[in-house]
Amino acid sequence: MKRPASRSTTSSKASNEGGHRRIRFVREAPSEGGLPQLLGSYPRSMRTAGHVRTLASSRPFRKLLAVRLASQAADGMFQASLALSVFFNPALGEAGDPYRYAAAVALLLGPYSLLGPYVGTVLDRFSRRGLIAGANLVRSALTVVIAATLAAGFDWTWLVCAMVVLAANRFVLAGLSAAHPKVVPAEQLVTANSLASTLGALAYGLGLATTGITKLIDSGVSYSMLALAAGCLYLVSAALVTASFRSGSLGPDLEADRTGGLWKGISETTVGMVDGLRHLSRRRGPALVMAVQGLHRFLYGIVFIIAIALFMGFFWDVESDPTRTTTISWLLVLAVLGNVGVLAAAIATPRATRGWGPKNWVVVLMALCAVVVAALAGTMKPVMFAVAVLLVNIASQGIKITVDTSLQRGVEDAYRGRVFSVNDTVYNVGYLAGLFAAALVVPADGYAPGTLLGVAVSYGLVCVGYAYLARDAAPYDSESWSPAATEARPSTSQ
């Protein structure tokens, strides 16, 4: 009996064109009673479970993961102590100005954001092991300076050191990611990246929670001591990477082609970003979803400032809570729920994009943001902001995963690094622009339901506009993509 012709699987055929081996994918009817011929046709959960077990038994991966966990736990502790000292430290003056919130975030994250496109140039020219260890050693030393200046009040030395500590995080995280191919087989890289980022986010959240709880229970631990505790973990991370790996073992390869020096590499990176932007103009699907992410980050920045100002002003009852214990508790809850949202998006997005398609998933997430922010404007209650942080962070991370996948699949390999640099810049500049836009229109106590309603309407317009413009230009075509492919293939139709 013949099997229905509509049932099909994907197989690969090799051909030689122009002296280069190419792999193309075609649809073929499955053989009668045959087993799946491609790795991609096996259940994804079975493959992932096997990869996780293999990675867990790999000593090099476990050592590199330990370096990441120590560093990201320190990041959580340091950034929490920094936020508490900026917003709750009497020595720095009374908080209550949205512009101050925006300026504080921009000054601390600005260098971190601007460094992003150029980090790869450095990582490809110097020992990654040395850079990871050196960056964490520098950060550990600077926390000592920060601890000393925090005790004395606001000082430009404190601010500059904090900016360097946060900016150096780019080199650590990028260096750890770039080192994965040196300790993990190629077929396990996706699982390794997911596992490392998920556990790293958990370590970061644990660092945040530890610092917040320490202040909540009125333990008497000062902001300076919290910063020093983070410095100790940075030192542990530096020691781990130094003791666990030989010099050069994490790359880059000595025989790698590095034409010119560092400054030439930086210049080429700038020119490359322009080339990447031009190439992106010919990839409508990835370009549109990247634009959606940039607009989302702008609106996200506005909501962030409103939330901080509300909890520091409108929601704060100075008579019943003079020490702001309730405020700190709520901000800690928001931070934890934000991390939960990121983890939930990492679980939901692969399933949603396979079931609904990446374009429809982005539309759903934008619609979710519109509804959630509209609900905030109508209620202006602390509990609603807690729910909103969870849902909006699911949307934010879900869009980010979709954008990253779109650039990996829909952009030619020769341009992919440069396009990712453009995406990194759009992602961070959009957020910083949103912070300062909010500072111009949000009152000191944060009570701005009209502004929130405007943000909700903007999310709705982005949702409808993207659904229309991307009707023939999805981020990537998940149906025609075979998991057995050896490299990404440009595809923007759904």
Q: How far apart are CA 156 and CA 493, in angstroms?
A: 52
pLDDT of residue 411: 66
Report CA torsion sign: 316, 319, 322, 328: negative
Return mean pLDDT, the chain. Answer: 76
Q: Out of 189-203, 327-341, 393-407, pick the least confident.
A: 189-203
pTM assigned to the model: 0.68
| DSSP-assigned letters across all residues of 375-390 | HHHHH--HHHHHHHHH
Residue 33's pLDDT is what? 38
Q: Which whole number is the average pLDDT over 439-447?
A: 87
pLDDT at residue 30 greater than cutoff 70: no
Architecture in CATH for domain 58-258: Up-down Bundle (1.20)
The DSSP line for 90-145 is GGG-----HHHHHHHHHHHHHHHHHHHHHHHHHHTTS-HHHHHHHHHHHHHHHHHH
- Retrieve residue 40's tokens: 């991609």
Q: Which two tokens stand for residue 75?
A: 């990041």
Largest CA distance in the chain: 85
Peptide bond into 30 cis (omega under 30): no
For residue 2, give both structure tokens: 């013949």
List, for residues 166-211, the tens digit of each pLDDT value: 888 878 887 887 787 888 887 676 567 767 877 888 898 888 888 8
HSE-up (13 A, CA, CB side) for residue 282: 8
Domain assignments of the chain as residue spans, ordered by start: 58-258, 276-494
Confidence class of residue 104 from pLDDT cuts 50, 70 and 90?
Answer: confident
What is residue 406's predicted lDDT score, i.e. its pLDDT? 79
Q: In this predicted structure, what is the pLDDT of residue 37?
A: 34
User: Which of 166, 171, 446 shows the shortest CA–CA distance to 314?
Assistant: 446
Residue 133 has a pLDDT of 94
- Look at residue 234 and tell me whether its pLDDT is greater than 90: yes
From the candidate CATH numbers 3.30.390.30, 3.30.413.10, 1.20.1250.20, 1.10.760.10, the one assigned to the domain spanning 276-494: 1.20.1250.20
The closest alpha carbon to 98, from 449, 451, 440, 456, belongs to: 440
Two domains, one topology: 58-258 and 276-494: yes
What tens digit of pLDDT does each residue of 260-284 get?
565 666 676 666 667 666 666 667 7
What is the token pair recorded at 117?
Answer: 């496109």
Q: Counting Cβ atoms within 10 Å, is residue 90 exposed (0-12), middle (13-18) or buried (19+)? A: exposed
Residue matched to tokens 């990654």:
128
**Cα–Cα distance between 67 and 171 in angstroms, integer?**
13
